[in-house]
Chains A and B, each alone.
Chain A
Amino acid sequence: GESVGLHLPTLSVQEGDNSIINCAYSNSASDYFIWYKQESGKGPQFIIDIRSNMDKRQGQRVTVLLNKTVKHLSLQIAATQPGDSAVYFCAEKASARQLTFGSGTQLTVLP
């Protein structure tokens, strides 16, 4: 059922600045991680993924960093644009288990 008391963390950045969105994951056995972008009223859109045998992976304007020691994942967006405004979710997966989503961060890009 619905959880009580949850709210989305928010991050506001100026257009053109870099954004860093953080995620703490819970399962030390997770070996695959994905960042998703979700715009209002739409389904999650894949941004970038990383497997546990890596600590950094780069895409176009995005970089994911994985620190397994402290179970921390981050998404860096370079030169943030208005179209980047959305909710960003990290998701983790352990072998033979399903994807588990984090709580999400609302990114707002200021003009």
Chain B
Amino acid sequence: GAVVSQHPSRVICKSGTSVKIECRSLDFQATTMFWYRQFPKQSLMLMATSNEGSKATYEQGVEKDKFLINHASLTLSTLTVTSAHPEDSSFYICSARDTARGNYGYTFGSGTRLTVV
């Protein structure tokens, strides 16, 4: 089945530094990938839609200069949290949509626990 690899699974960083999270589709091509943020005991909130070869589309209220997204190939999207602050601590999850399955093939990564100290 479709597999999405997300790395790292956990990261601790100091305030003011930047952190990069990678999302890879291992056995399928993903023109579109998605980045979510999840706070404890809450649902997944879509942050942005990452499109291969073009700019990401950000949801309302998400700062594009703070959460940089790059989708340089059909199998890799990265999310960089710039100048991280403690309030950015959260669980970040990516999802990739299998291009071959159109609108119905969503697979999620295992998530990244970011702690900013």
Using a CB–CB cutoff of 8 Å, the interface residues on chain A facing chain B are 1-3, 6-8, 32, 34, 36, 41-46, 49, 89, 93, 95, 98-104
- Is the CB–CB distance between B104 and A43 below 8 Å? no
- Is the CB–CB distance between B44 and A32 below 8 Å? no
- Is the CB–CB distance between B6 and A89 below 8 Å? no
- Is the CB–CB distance between B110 and A98 below 8 Å? no
Partner of A1, one of B43, B61, B113: B61
- Is the CB–CB distance between A89 and B43 below 8 Å? yes
Q: Would you call the interface of chain A mostly helix, strand, loop, or mixed?
A: loop
- Is the CB–CB distance between B106 and A99 below 8 Å? yes
Task: Tell me, yes or no, whether B108 is within 8 Å of chain A by CB.
Answer: yes
Please, how many angstroms separate the alpha-carbon atoms of A32 and B11 in the complex?
A: 34
Contacts of B107 in A (CB 8 A): 46
- Is the CB–CB distance between A7 and B41 below 8 Å? yes
- Is the CB–CB distance between A93 and B103 below 8 Å? yes
- Is the CB–CB distance between B103 and A95 below 8 Å? yes
- Is the CB–CB distance between A43 and B43 below 8 Å? no
Contacts of B106 in A (CB 8 A): 34, 46, 99
Q: Give A106's nearest chain B residue, CB to CB.
A: B41
- Is the CB–CB distance between A99 and B34 below 8 Å? yes
Task: Tell me, yes or no, whether B93 is within 8 Å of chain A by CB.
Answer: yes
- Give the 7 A-B residue pairs with the shortest CB-CB distance, closest first: A43-B108, A43-B111, A43-B110, A101-B43, A101-B44, A44-B108, A2-B39
> Which residues of B, 16-62, contact A by the 8 Å Cβ criterion?
34, 39, 41-46, 49, 61
Which among A6, A42, A44, A102 has the highest number of chain B CB atoms within 10 Å?
A44
> Provided the pairs A2-B42, A6-B42 are in contact, do residues A41 and B113 lie with their beta carbons within 8 angstroms?
yes
Contacts of A99 in B (CB 8 A): 34, 46, 95, 106
Q: Give A7's nearest chain B residue, CB to CB.
A: B41
24 A-B pairs within 8 Å (CB atoms) are namely A1-B61, A2-B42, A3-B39, A6-B41, A6-B42, A6-B43, A8-B41, A32-B103, A32-B104, A42-B111, A43-B109, A43-B111, A44-B44, A46-B107, A49-B104, A89-B43, A89-B44, A93-B103, A99-B95, A99-B106, A100-B46, A101-B44, A102-B43, A103-B43
